[in-house]
Chain A
Amino acid sequence: MKKMIFSACLALAGFFGLISTVNAEGLTLEGPPKIAMLYISPTNDGGWTQAFDEARQRLEKDLGIKIQYVESVPESASAIRPAVERFIKRGANIIIGTAFGYSDTFKALSEEYPNVAFLNGSGTTNGPNLLSFYGRTYESQYLCGMAAAAASKTGKLGFVAANPFGQVNWTINAYAMGAHEINPDATVTVVYTGAWNDPTKERSATKALIDQGADVIGQHVDTPTPQLVAQENGVYGTGHHRDFREFAPKATVCSSVWVWDRFLKTELEKIIAGNWVPNPNGALLSMQEGGTDIACCGPNISEEEEAKIMAARDKLLKGELQIYAGPLYDQDGNLRAAEGEVIPDPELWQMDWFVDGVITQQ
């Protein structure tokens, strides 16, 4: 009897095992790939969206496929839906979004259209045909922190940030840790503007930081305003999204840049090849996987320091350097990562603490 129950259990287990292999069967597109992208801002916004559009143009060349796009789609279901549904109706079977606010709508759409592959930059939702991706900006911003400390005379760095939450805070901490590689006494004073794209607030925040003695201004906001203000005031800065030497060649010493095509090329090839199974936890890309990189180095950085930065970059590109590896303490002395440990991703997203040397209004 016991044996029978046991074998019944085994059979049941085998049955479920079968089901799960059926489920694990990935997505294979019907018909030739037709790709469409949704941008949150205009293609010439100088930052986030323009980086995606530049990646799109490189992908068109690399993959030999025309990629359609639609710009200025705000983060609301009533704007996203008509655009995506229209694309799908016109034959698109790979949809790429570019905003965190698309997450819920993309999730719902991916369930309604199970034969369409969905990708979403900076999204939070995933599924059998939906993959959200983002870059580990703390890696590239760590390198920019090194460059900032190298360019600084006073060791007082300023940082203009958007909103106080995980993906901004991890940038700030890494910036400070990078700066400490060059100058252990460097401080990073942070001003949150409360907005991703507000040139007026960014200007006043940058000015305030410079008035307080900061001589290099880092940033994690969307416009190049902090760099422009730094240049006007004869100090230096580090950019975000794209190479901001385009806007402030005399000021920008380093920029954290998106290299989406490095990731999207391989991912799109996987989708086109068929049997695509996206990572159920999303893709948080390291520099090695093609999320971010740096454009370095601008003025006022010696060859010796540049070599140091490039050596760290090489390590990151090879996956040999972990920024959030222990032992790591926050300002209040709490252990955040023990020796030999790396902070896991879910905790990174929740990051609400700062390392020594970071000064915030919080």
Chain B
Amino acid sequence: MSELALRRPLINRRYTLELRQHMAWYWQALILGASLVLGLLVSGAILVAAGVPAGELLNEFVLYTLFDAQSLKSVLFQASPLIMVGLAGCLAFRARFWNLGLEGQMIFGAIGATAITLWDIGSPSLRLPLMILTAMACGLLWAVAPVLLRLKLRVNEIVSTLMLNYIAVNFLLHLMYGPWKDPKDAFPYSPKYESFELLPDLPGGLSLSIPIAIGLAVLVLWFVSISRAGLYLRFVDKSPDVARSVGVPVARTILMAVLFSGALAGLAGLMVAAGQEGRLTHSFYVGYGFSGILIAFLARNNPIAATCAALLIATLFVAGRSLQVFYQIPFAMVQLIQAVLVICVASSDFFIRHRIRRVQGGE
């Protein structure tokens, strides 16, 4: 009897999950910030358990990474190609096209730019703009086949873009170990770019690739939220069938978004080759495809959020490297911490999109 009286309210207490239509941006930011703090606390606990002195963590690691000029420079140095692949992911995913071929498009972008340097096309002052355009064109061209296959023959783009990556990688290796190897020492990288073929540093030491990346983020924002194509894109994203029946040019919209995505990935390849390495190397693309998908996912395909997410990922890379340098912890630990932070941020999405509400039991 008494037992029943205690249990009844619990039995009757019910909760329901509701989809949230909209949430003010400051609430979203607050939830995101809270999830990041939670992730940092969990990571901190892991590190302390691994024997890192707790007192030093905040001081040396967090503050040092974020407020040291050299670290900040490293973050920005790393960020621009990440922003590019993140934006490329956003664009394709908005058209419901799962572009897993970001790495292949990157590789061809860098190959195109390198071809311009090897064949000395254009005068020195025109060289860099020409390389940028060629990189975008080559990235775009590498995306043509899968998008046409998907639109004309309904070939699954997940498979086709992924497989095209392998072709791109092996073609790159063929060039690096064959015709394009550096004649100076026969090692598997292209000859060094000339100084006018490199993305220059701006006064203050920042690479030109940062303003380019931010400019393109704004351009993509305009494309997806203001332009007519962006309006169509939203239709296609919500329901391709409805979009088609109300007269939206679905195929053309998908084609445009995917080609734009490929062009941006191609530019990411140029940013690594001409902004970081100073030549074409045999493994410059590694990891960018996955990072691009991750960034677009974290940003829920919003270009500005993708830029922030790319900066976050770059910070994680640099901070992870300092952690290793400071405490000699294994790299696996760094990856674990990065994964914890990403999972925390990703799960915050749940609270932004849903609300938990208590409902009355059916008495």
Contacts and interface: CB of A to CB of B under 8 A. Distances in A.
A54 interface: no
Interface string A34-50: 00100000110000000
Interface stretch (A63-71, A181-189, A263-271, A336-344): A63-71
A86 B77 CA distance: 15
Contacts of A76: 272, 276-277, 281, 283-284, 286
Given A165-B181, A165-B186, A194-B173, A74 B324 contact: no
A92 to B, nearest CB: 9
Contacts of A100: 187
Given A71-B330, A77-B77, A79-B78, 11 more contacts: A70-B328, A74-B287, A75-B283, A78-B317, A79-B317, A82-B317, A86-B322, A104-B277, A104-B279, A194-B173, A349-B187
Nearest to A194: B173
B185 A42 contact: no
B206 to A, nearest CB: 14
For the complex of A and B, the 10 pairs showing the least CB-CB separation, nearest first, are A72-B331, A82-B74, A78-B78, A70-B324, A77-B276, A86-B325, A350-B186, A82-B321, A82-B318, A83-B321
Contacts of B269: none
Interface in B53-108: 70-71, 74, 77-78
Contact of A68 (B74, B328, B332): B328
B277 A77 contact: yes
A326 to B, nearest CB: 21
B188 interface: yes
Interface residues of B, number: 36
Given A42-B332, A74-B286, A75-B283, A165 B187 contact: yes
B281 A101 contact: yes
Given A42-B332, A75-B283, A76-B284, A124 B185 contact: yes
Contacts, number: 89
A45 to B, nearest CB: 11
B289 to A, nearest CB: 14
Contacts of B330: 42-43, 71
Given A42-B332, A166-B186, A83 B324 contact: yes
B177 interface: yes
Interface string A118-152: 00000010000000000000000000000000000
A111 interface: no
Give the most central of A69, A70, A83, A194: most B CB within 10 Å.
A70
A89 interface: yes
A130 to B, nearest CB: 15
Interface of A: 36, 42-43, 68-79, 81-83, 85-87, 89-90, 100-101, 104, 124, 163-166, 194, 349-350, 352
Contacts of B282: 101
A191 to B, nearest CB: 15
B290 to A, nearest CB: 13
13 contacts: A68-B325, A72-B331, A76-B283, A78-B74, A78-B78, A79-B78, A79-B321, A82-B74, A82-B322, A163-B173, A165-B181, A349-B185, A350-B186
B170 interface: yes
A350 B184 CA distance: 9
A70 B281 CA distance: 22
Contact of B71 (A69, A73, A79, A82): A82
Contacts of A166: 186
Contact of B321 (A70, A77, A90, A164): A70
A89 B68 CA distance: 11
Nearest to A125: B185
A81 B77 contact: yes
Given A86-B321, A165-B187, A78 B276 contact: yes
B189 to A, nearest CB: 8
A87 B331 CA distance: 16
B278 interface: yes
A358 to B, nearest CB: 18
A101 B280 CA distance: 11
Contacts of B321: 70, 73, 79, 82-83, 86
A194 B170 contact: yes
Given A100-B187, A101-B283, A164-B177, A83 B276 contact: no
A78 B181 CA distance: 22
Interface string B181-198: 100011110001000000
B331 A71 contact: yes
Contact of A78 (B77, B279, B332): B77
A163 B177 contact: yes
Interface string B320-349: 011011101011100000000000000000
Contacts of B326: 86, 90
A71 B334 CA distance: 11
A352 B187 CA distance: 12
A74 B70 CA distance: 20
A349 B187 CA distance: 8
B186 A71 contact: no
A70 B321 CA distance: 8
Nearest to A73: B321
Nearest to B183: A350
A71 B331 CA distance: 6
Contacts of B170: 194
Contacts of B181: 165
A66 to B, nearest CB: 10
